[in-house]
Structure 1
């Protein structure tokens, strides 16, 4: 049974001997829910956790007390509902920690600090295991989304866009792709700023069934719902300041076997020669 550790006045550590409880789903995973002494508050546990995390080298330039810390503390108290309150709170904490630039190792030490503030034993082990699962789930989510979308523009990745272009949903019907090319700025930061400006204008104009991707610093492609949409996108780009001359074309995907599509894709996107897909 889990018990809360309490710091003594002399800076030592003693074990609170009050009763403890743990929910026990005998067909699933037990979730630790320590019972605190009546005079122990959530704020007290949060303060003790914070102190122990700092002692374990929590980065001083990163915020520690984020919204999810309170949710985790609340879920550690007896009676937290629903049963998945603690896993959900740890997932939210992992998400917030990574968003603040903490590393997975920082997160692991932080959860170990919380476990120490409770008591050694099964409850602490389960808490650490739930934390390990939470950080793994957030990292896996970010990796999957990163393979599908650009975090900077919310456009599709090149791989995902090509899947849209050649997937079964597009089979048996005309498929039109609009490409726009401009001379990117010599400085990387300026070229990136232009991409973001163009993406902001195009993203709001996309219709259901359309997707977009960058194939280079000065090459944008849009999978169209109809070829007439290309004229609308041309007009949209003319309103982007400092973009310079833009060359746009509409390409129609050929019929035939996949090998023929592959050759056509390289003709449409020669950028793939010098910068192949990973």
Structure 2
């Protein structure tokens, strides 16, 4: 899932909060078979305002560029939060030498719910932020790191709040929440998608934690104030069954205005 636009952190709006609620409802529904029971009346629900506050918290750390103080601060905070909710939290630290010669220490984090179950899916997002504002309207600011409210912050907030929800209402199948690092370092493709590529290689080789997931759902830039999620071409080509499953879940939940 990917949205265009940016989340305005200076003037909070209802639309992003509403969407975060909708997105999480979709994720939970998309994880289940159509025959699986839904939430029972009175069960805890996704807190959109709290998710929005989690975005603000991340932005307050400053840029979460690998090697920056905000990157380590967010990692420490994120691990502590996940440890309080998930039965199992696994950190995977790795290194990368960029094309410019920078030595990066990167960390993928996985929070596992119902780790005893073999039947699993993975929900993932990236938690790092871009070191440059390539598309800034003001050319003088294009060398500045982005705040990362939407790009990096929004998907992370949704999964962190989903972790809190699943701590109270365990899912009927295994769910792994994966926060990948080194997504946006750039500027070339050799220095991007680093955490996701590492996880993909681990899946391909069988060198991964737990059972291989049935499928995965990626959240990236899901905090647009006016969200719209058309079917993405690569997903439709390579994972059409999963795409249909998610979009049918959206229709069942009355979320067609977003999907």
TM (normalized to structure 1)? 0.24
Larger radius of gyration: 1
> Whose helix proportion is higher, 1 or 2?
1
Higher RCO, 1 vs 2 (CA within 8 Å, ≥6 residues apart): 2
TM-score of the superposed pair, with normalisation by structure 2:
0.25
